[in-house]
Amino acid sequence: MKLRKVTAASAVVLALALSATACGGDKKDNDSGGSGGGGKIKIGIKFDQPGLGLQKPDGTYAGFDVDVATYVAKQLGYSPDKIEWVQTKSADRENALARGDVKFIAATYSITDERKQKVDFAGPYLLAHQDLLVKAGSKIAKGDDLNGKNLCSVTGSTSAQNVQKSIAPKANLRENSGYSECIAALQSGAVDAVTTDDSILAGFAAQDKYKGQFKLAGLKLSNENYGIGVKKGDSATVDKINDALKKMVSDGSWQKAVDANFGPANYKNEPAPTIGNIVK
């Protein structure tokens, strides 16, 4: 009789333990990091950059950065349905990583010495160049032509800083929260030019509603090495992402993503960069 009582008590303890384990397992689905195996991963991208990171009307996402991030996530153990896309605007990228809002960011994130003080980078995975987007009939042909003109860029971008420091210090710089607002201002005549990376500008110019209205000046005002931002000190994730990027280039997936996203805009992209090699 005493033996049966002990056995029954043990069964209750075992049942409670199993129940607690099952409840604890749900936490993994909300994980922003980890190593796959059924959890989810949060990745920062832009939502308003055609050809790079765009949230479409149906709620899906498309663009080169999206394709790169999806490939990398798969190599880390996360299938596309386990990715939660998080909008990360230029001015908030460092904070998003520091807060742990995302595991990594692929959002036209140029690698700079200043940013490397706050975050770590994998890559680069694309070499772009700062350029100008102007109206098709514009006479702006070089950086000096911007002095006295109305120029638009995005708050927190390296492009705006570059213009103020060395390209056209007398330009009337207008900074908006997103490039969509800048493109609309260019179309209306409120600004004379928009400056950022040529890859971003090409994506906007290729949209059906803007076809034939704008042109790239083709100035190559700077080299922009796009990297994948990771929380400072997370060298293990940086190494894993670099391995994934190398594989993406070697198996042809990188070039396929370039052709699919930039081909329609006739964007003359640079060859795939060597991972770890920053072009000054």
Classify residue 45: in a domain, yes or no: yes
Note whether 195 and 163 are within 8 A (CB): yes
SS3 category, 62:
strand
Classify residue 16: in a domain, yes or no: no
Q: How far apart are CA 252 and CA 31, in angstroms?
A: 31
Residues 175-206: tens digit of each pLDDT:
998 888 999 999 999 999 999 999 999 888 88
Pair (33, 121) in one structural domain:
yes
Residues 37-50: tens digit of each pLDDT:
559 999 999 998 89
Pair (152, 99) in one structural domain:
no
Which residues of the chain form beta strands (DSSP E)?
Answer: 41-45, 48-49, 53-55, 61-62, 83-87, 104-110, 119-135, 150-154, 172-176, 193-197, 214-216, 222-231
Note whether 168 and 144 are within 8 A (CB): yes
Classify residue 275: in a domain, yes or no: no
Biggest distance spanned by C-alpha atoms of the chain: 99
Q: Which residues of the chain have pLDDT under 50?
A: 1-30, 34-35
Query: What pLDDT, on the 0 to 100 scale, is given for residue 12?
Result: 41
Pair (110, 244) in one structural domain:
yes
CATH number at residue 113: 3.40.190.10
Query: What pLDDT, on the 0 to 100 scale, is given for residue 38?
Result: 58
Classify residue 13: in a domain, yes or no: no
Pair (136, 217) in one structural domain:
yes
Note whether 197 and 225 are within 8 A (CB): no
Note whether 143 and 222 are within 8 A (CB): no
Domain ends where: 169, 202, 222? 222
Pair (89, 148) in one structural domain:
no
Q: Parallel, antiparallel, or unpaired: how do β-strands 104-110 and 61-62 relate?
A: unpaired
The fraction of the chain above a pLDDT of 70, given in percent, is: 85
Pair (243, 116) in one structural domain:
yes
Query: What pLDDT, on the 0 to 100 scale, is given for residue 18?
Result: 40
Query: What pLDDT, on the 0 to 100 scale, is given for residue 261?
Result: 87
Classify residue 277: in a domain, yes or no: no
CB atoms within 10 A of CB 2: 6
* Structural domain span for residue 51: 29-127+224-265
Classify residue 270: in a domain, yes or no: no
Pair (199, 189) in one structural domain:
yes
Q: How far apart are CA 226 and CA 125, in angstroms?
A: 6
Structural domain count of the chain: 2
Q: How far apart are CA 103 and CA 234, in angstroms?
A: 10
Query: What pLDDT, on the 0 to 100 scale, is given for residue 32?
Result: 54
Which tokens go with 276?
């770890």
Classify residue 258: in a domain, yes or no: yes
Query: What pLDDT, on the 0 to 100 scale, is given for residue 93?
Result: 96
Query: What pLDDT, on the 0 to 100 scale, is given for residue 36?
Result: 53
Pair (164, 230) in one structural domain:
no
Pair (123, 228) in one structural domain:
yes
pTM: 0.78
Query: What pLDDT, on the 0 to 100 scale, is given for residue 112?
Result: 93
DSSP-derived secondary structure for 135-201: ETT----SGGGGTTSEEEEETT-HHHHHIIIII-TTSEEEEESSHHHHHHHHHHTS-SEEEEEHHHH
Q: How far apart are CA 202 and CA 133, in angstroms?
A: 8
Pair (43, 110) in one structural domain:
yes
Pair (110, 194) in one structural domain:
no
Classify residue 12: in a domain, yes or no: no
Pair (228, 123) in one structural domain:
yes
Note whether 107 and 194 are within 8 A (CB): no
